[in-house]
Amino acid sequence: MSDSSTRQKMTPKELMIVLVISLGSFMAGLDGTIVNIALPTIGKAFDVSTVTVSWVLNAYLIVLVSLLLFASRLGDIKGFRKLFLVGFGIFTLGSAMCGLAPSLDFLIFSRMLQAVGGAIISALGAVMVTTYLSPSLRGQALGMVAMFTMLGAALGPVLGGFLTSAFSWQYIFFVNLPVGVLAILLGIYILPHTDPVTPNAKMDIPGVIIIFAALGTLILGLNMLTTPTPVYGVLALVVSAIFWGLFYIRERKTAEPLVNLDLFKNRAFSLQNMNVMFTQVGLAGVMILMPFYLEMVKLVPTDNAGTILLALPIGMILTSPIAGRISDVIGTKKPIILGFIVSILALFLLSTLSPHSSIGHVEIYLFMLGAGTGFAYAPLNSAVMGEAPVKDRGSTSGLIKMMSNLGSSLGVALVMLVTTVAAGSRMAQEATRTLPRAEMAGAFDTGFLFLMCIEVSTEGEPVAAY
């Protein structure tokens, strides 16, 4: 066995390569959370309703998720390094345009452009790590990338609140500019030149259009399920199902598909992709419910609630690199199973919270969930990439990100639906503070228990995948 295949320590050059790639993950994580806290301020600035200004977030998410497979496939054709740098350029330009937007329509358009760049840098992260580093370093490198993703997500609300309060909402976009320029300059000098995997392949444009429609209507439908007109959400989901069927037919018939569906004949590949999605369901579900619990049940001020929530991403930040390195030594199976067990325990403990629970307990449970997720997430990514043939690693990298973002959308929509059903029509009284805190806590506990059941249903999949 060669020395390069057994060593467990990166060279300085390899570390710099991973750091450049991680900057892309950091920006993706940051922009996934930094805008939310500024939406009310943006709405006031342009004098529009809450529903209208929410499209600053929705438009970004729809374009980002819908273009991930396209971006990964394009990387196979054009080369990862070149496309990664172009993606960062588009992202940085879109960020500048967002900060200078004179109207809401222009801001939404700029967010969509920003999402194009975000899709590229997000989709190529895992495949670049897999391409540039030896298999013995894959786990710890992907762990570092995951750590930077969560660091960005953790800093988003805090940094967004500070910049909006101290300066203006425009600065939540301007903050991307120095990072984007730095990443481009470092990438030019550090990222290796590699030949495209399939330079003569053709892009499946009809497939791109169909998957864009399928994912766009799916996300739109999920977001509308908890609105006063859920029937439109159901209609959008029906349309999405039709497009998913068309996508399956198209990918089976075309000679050069966006994603090789034969990969899903590999049970391990299929199950681990599902695990990636369901892991994100739990995370997103908790992150959407917990602020309501803290502010409505525990009566914690908004700024303090944001600080308490940091316990979850901090848990991930501390465990992801460790789990990645361990998986390089002992394999991915045991870290994934341990991560799921810790996450299930954390979700169970969250489902026991009441108005009398201490904030200290909340922080411990959130940290446990973050630590469990962090311990499973990097090995999951490594396991999926390890199952993919070299020629399919680009599309697999995009697929991982797509499953992760789908999990976030599903987590938010499903847990809010379950919580609303658990609370019944009384949830409408929340605005007047007439619903007893114990009843609200019970509804939120039902939501956490639902998320735990999802984790339990997937806990056996890591074992079955081997």
Q: Which residue has the higher pLDDT, 313 or 433?
A: 313
Per residue in 129-148, pLDDT (tens digit) is 878 888 778 777 877 887 78
SS (HEC) of the chain? CCHHHHCCCCCHHHHHHHHHHHHHHHHHHHHCCCCHHHHHHHHHHHCCCHHHHCHHHHHHHHHHHHCHHHHHHHHHHHCHHHHHHHHHHHHHHHHHHHHCCCCHHHHHHHHHHHHHHHHHHHHHHHHHHHHHCCHHHHHHHHHHHHHHHHHHHHHHHHHHHHHHHHCCCCHHHHCHHHHHHHHHHHHHHHCCCCCCCCCCCCCCHHHHHHHHHHHHHHHHHHHHCCCCCHHHHHHHHHHHHHHHHHHHHHHHHCCCCCCCHHHHHCHHHHHHHHHHHHHHHHHHHHHHHHHHHHHHHCCCCHHHHHHHHCHHHHHHHHHHHHHHHHHHHHCCHHHHHHHHHHHHHHHHHHCCCCCCCCHHHHHHHHHHHHHHHHHHHHHHHHHHHHHCCHHHHHHHHHHHHHHHHHHHHHHHHHHHHHHHHHHHHHHHHHHHCCCCHHHHHHHHHHHHHHHHHHHHHHHCHHHHCC
Token representation of residue 395:
């599309």
Least confident of 40-54, 58-72, 157-171, 277-291: 40-54
Q: Which value, in Å, is the radius of gyration of the alpha carbons in the chain?
A: 21
Cα 320 to Cα 316: distance, rounded to the nearest angstrom = 6
Mean pLDDT of 397-426: 77
Per residue in 398-409, pLDDT (tens digit) is 788 788 878 877
- If one counts every other C-beta atom within 10 angstroms of the C-beta of residue 34, the result is 25
Distances from the Cα of 345 to the Cα of 28, 159, 269, 341, 456, angstroms: 29, 31, 26, 6, 10
Token representation of residue 416:
């809010």
Which pLDDT belongs to residue 235?
Answer: 94
Q: What's the sign of the alpha-carbon dihedral 263, 267, 273, 274? A: positive
Token representation of residue 156:
């988003």
Asked if 444 contacts 297 with a C-beta cutoff of 8 angstroms, the reply is yes
Per residue in 53-69, pLDDT (tens digit) is 778 877 888 888 888 88
Confidence of residue 461 (pLDDT cuts 50, 70, 90): low
pLDDT above 70 (res 432)? no
In which residue are the tokens 């108005």 written?
Answer: 355
Per residue in 307-316, pLDDT (tens digit) is 788 888 888 8
pLDDT above 70 (res 252)? yes
Confidence of residue 79 (pLDDT cuts 50, 70, 90): confident
Per residue in 195-234, pLDDT (tens digit) is 777 777 788 889 889 988 998 888 888 878 767 778 888 9
Amino acid 233 reads G
pTM check: above 0.85: no
Residues in CB range of 241: below 8 A, 6 or more apart? none
Mean pLDDT of 419-448: 69
